[in-house]
Amino acid sequence: MTNPIGPLVPADEGLCHQITDTFAVVATSDLSWTEKICAMAAAKDGSLQLGFGLGKYPNRNVMDGYAGISRGVEQRTVRASRRLDAAPARTIVGPIRYEVVEPLRSVRFVLEANDEQPIAFDWLFEALVPPSVEDRTHMRQGYRVGSDLVRYHQIGLASGWVEVHGTRHEISPDNWVSTRDHSWGVRYDVGLPLKDLEPRDPLAGLSFRMIWSPIAMQRPDGSRYGLFLHYQIVKGTGFTYKQVVMGGVEHPDGTVERFVDLEPELTFDPANRRLRGGRIEARTADGALRTLEVEAVSDTGFHLGAGLYFGLDGHHHGEWRGDLHVEGEHIPDCADPVVARRLHQIRDTVVHVVDPVGGGEGWGNCQPIITGGDDALGLSAEDSFM
């Protein structure tokens, strides 16, 4: 066939095509093309948290995922990977399952009972506010586009159950929150690092600071809204460069009051760089300031490194592991500095936020990273890690 066409899949029945091919393929041959689901649910008191991720890599013929729990410094994780073309339309990998219940409003995350870890859950995410599309992520590595992807996030509540060692805990929307995001495009850190490229570290000798944080807020009268905070800040000798400032106040009717600047005053544990808390000054386009008080609720926080973010023990997102591969692990103390470096900094930290201007308080997810040294925060460049 001189002009090959991808195989037909169930999605091709719909009137949703945007390229001249089937839904089995994407518009680029880049091996880093990824469609990714990531979600968390957490008890407001920080006693227990669930983590979930699912990735589809059409050009690698792989679908993989992770599911797990964080309870204080303890974490249990199940990971799975399978051949994509065996069932391209199924969002199931071994015991891990993702289901759209009502598009853009309600989705379900499931970890079936399995032989790898004594954990299982079935949680339903239900939206408090409509999903919000973030600014496009576009980064270059020299002449090459290293990432070019679109993402939306959504803030909501959780219901369902989770079992740990045979003990069932109910998940109630009265005392649990949930956040999720969905992205697609050319993504960084997919597959094993290429060995025949020029070594590049754009952050060498610099300090990099980031948070990505969706929060479910409630006022005393019971009305709801969401907060979203995202910044990437690079600091060097004599300069500060804000690569990204994004976020705002998200209302149930879909309107968003966007923040044009975020100024963090946060503190971190110098041994493992876990977020402790502090405040963030958020400025809107009219110049008004909101001082947001942020507190890490407990030691609970699911390390995304166990889901292969930034890699784990030589394995990476989208890596071919065979027709079906399932594995799991129990880490008793993720706060141990040695273990923290293995798992990387980024984790779904359970945070409590107070917003005096908006009149609400809330709970949600904060994914922080801070590298390099900072004397004011007691952080040493020699102890830095990603």
Average pLDDT rounded to a whole number, residues 311-323: 96
Look-up of token digits 């002449």: 143
The type of residue at 8 is L
- 180 and 130 in contact (C-beta within 8 Å)? no
Cα atoms in the Cβ-side hemisphere of radius 13 Å centred on 55:
28
Q: Domains for the chain: give ranges and CATH numbers.
A: 10-193+201-383 (2.40.370.10)
- Phi/psi for 258 (5° steps) reads -80, 145
How is residue 362 written in tokens? 């809330």
Cα(first)–Cα(last) distance of the chain, in Å? 47
- Please say if the pLDDT value at position 379 is more than 70: yes
CA 367 – CA 348 distance, rounded (Å): 5
- In angstroms, what CA-CA distances link 29 with 36, 197, 221? 17, 19, 52
Residue 242 buriedness (CB in 10 A; 0-12 / 13-18 / 19+): middle
Q: Which residues pair with 294 in a beta bridge?
A: 278, 353
pTM of the model: 0.94
The pLDDT tens digits of the residues spanning 99-123 come to 999 999 999 999 999 999 999 999 9
Q: How confident is the model at residue 33 (pLDDT cuts 50, 70, 90)?
A: very high
Considering only residues 51 and 145, tell me which one the structure prediction assigns the higher pLDDT.
51
Look at 12-26, 148-162, 255-269, 287-301 and tell me which has the smallest mean pLDDT.
Answer: 12-26
- 285 and 293 in contact (C-beta within 8 Å)? no
Q: How confident is the model at residue 195 (pLDDT cuts 50, 70, 90)?
A: confident
Among the residues of the chain, which ranges form H helices?
337-343
Look-up of token digits 């001189």: 2
Query: pLDDT value at position 49?
Result: 98
- In angstroms, what CA-CA distances link 249 with 53, 129, 311, 338? 26, 10, 33, 38
Query: pLDDT value at position 1?
Result: 53
